[in-house]
């Protein structure tokens, strides 16, 4: 089973395993603010399982606390999604439902995606946490991974991650997700060698994504444009952005 291959890649210590089903009712109560969200969970989620709880006592990594967040443990969950499910919104809802930083493995058909999101204290509600940026991988087939995906899976073991504290460990997984995304552009999976490089990589990927979006809009406009002068202007702007896109790709 594809999920089993990714769980095995995490190499979770036996003492941290929970292996317990999570009722969908919990997700509905904790994270579904609208009727549409409730329907998405009920109709889109087949099954959710709590795989592990990573704590100082079972992985020998200290807790993390500051004025922004408190990481006492990291949860690992799997979700089996139905073929008709809309995964983007469902991933966000599941992350929102769990108060701890979450490693979420979501299976749909033969593919799996892995997603993470840092959490912080809510500014508006005392004692509540909210998610920050969501970092999902593109769905991939763990049974037949590409070279980049195989390298990504080979990097996920808990013992390979930073061990200063649970925040650093969780960030290590996020850095691997970002490196996988970059490898889909560069063709090579390479972990960032410093926190500064990891931050640069995220910034460059955001720029790359935005440039691709703008290029898509401009190319569509250029195809529809009737006036020659305006079409020339659009094509010049397209070439400028293509050059910038290439430079951003090299920076990855």
Whether residue 213 is found in the same domain as residue 90: no
Whether residue 117 is found in the same domain as residue 10: yes
pLDDT at 101: 96
Whether residue 17 is found in the same domain as residue 133: yes
Instruction: Select the more confidently predicted residue: 229 or 147.
Output: 147
Parent domain of 101: 2-143
Kindly report the average pLDDT of the chain as a whole number. Answer: 90
Domain count, the chain: 2
Question: Buried b vs exposed e over 157-196: b needs ≥16 C-beta within 10 Å?
Answer: ebeebbeebbbbbbbbbbbbbbbbbbbbbeeebebbeeee
Tokens encoding 163: 């061990």
pLDDT in tens, 45-56: 899 999 999 999
Q: Which helix (H) or strand (E) holds 166?
A: helix 166-186
Instruction: Select the more confidently predicted residue: 28 or 79.
Output: 79
Whether residue 99 is found in the same domain as residue 223: no
Q: What percent of the chain has pLDDT over 70?
A: 98
Domain boundary among 96, 120, 143: 143
Residue 26: inside a domain: yes
Residue 62: inside a domain: yes
Residues 6+ apart with CB under 8 A from 228: none
Tokens encoding 21: 């089903």
Whether residue 20 is found in the same domain as residue 107: yes
Residue 22: inside a domain: yes
pLDDT at 1: 60
In this model, does residue 211 exceed pLDDT 70? yes
pLDDT at 62: 97
In this model, does residue 178 exceed pLDDT 70? yes
pTM: predicted TM-score of the whole model, two decimal places? 0.88
pLDDT in tens, 94-131: 998 888 999 999 999 889 999 999 999 988 777 788 89
pLDDT at 31: 63
Greatest mean pLDDT among 2-6, 12-16, 22-26, 187-191 lies in 12-16
Per-residue pLDDT band at 86 (split at 50, 70, 90): confident
Residue 183: inside a domain: no
Domain boundary among 114, 143, 172: 143
Q: How far apart are CA 228 and CA 85, in angstroms?
A: 44
Whether residue 17 is found in the same domain as residue 107: yes
Indicate the SS3 state at residue 97: helix
Whether residue 120 is found in the same domain as residue 228: no
Domain boundary among 143, 166, 192: 143
pLDDT in tens, 7-47: 999 999 999 999 999 888 877 777 666 788 888 888 888 99
In this model, does residue 252 exceed pLDDT 80? no
| CB neighbour class for 108 (10 Å; exposed up to 12, middle 13-18, buried from 19) | buried
Length of the chain measured in residues: 252
């Amino acid at each position: 089973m594809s999920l089993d291959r990714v769980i095995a890649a995490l190499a979770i210590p036996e003492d941290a395993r929970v292996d317990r089903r999570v009722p969908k009712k919990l997700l509905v109560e904790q994270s579904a603010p609208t009727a549409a969200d409730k329907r998405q969970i009920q109709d889109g989620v087949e099954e959710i399982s709590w795989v592990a709880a990573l704590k100082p006592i079972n992985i020998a990594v200290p807790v993390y606390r500051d004025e922004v967040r408190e990481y006492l443990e990291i949860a690992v969950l799997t979700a089996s999604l139905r073929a008709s499910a809309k995964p983007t919104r469902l991933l966000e809802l599941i992350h929102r439902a769990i108060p701890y930083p979450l490693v979420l493995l979501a299976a749909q058909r033969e593919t799996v995606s892995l997603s993470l999101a840092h959490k912080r204290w809510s500014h508006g509600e005392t004692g509540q946490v909210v998610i920050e940026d969501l970092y999902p991988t593109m769905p991939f087939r763990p049974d037949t991974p590409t070279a980049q995906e195989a390298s990504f899976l080979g990097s996920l073991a808990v013992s390979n991650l930073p061990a200063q504290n649970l925040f650093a460990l969780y960030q290590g997984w996020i850095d691997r997700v970002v490196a996988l995304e970059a490898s889909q552009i560069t063709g090579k999976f390479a972990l960032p060698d410093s926190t500064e490089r990891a931050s640069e990589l995220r910034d460059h990927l955001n720029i790359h994504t935005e440039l691709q979006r703008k290029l898509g809009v401009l190319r569509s406009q250029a195809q529809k444009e009737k006036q020659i002068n305006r079409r020339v202007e659009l094509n010049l702007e397209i070439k400028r952005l293509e050059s910038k896109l290439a430079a951003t790709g090299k920076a990855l």
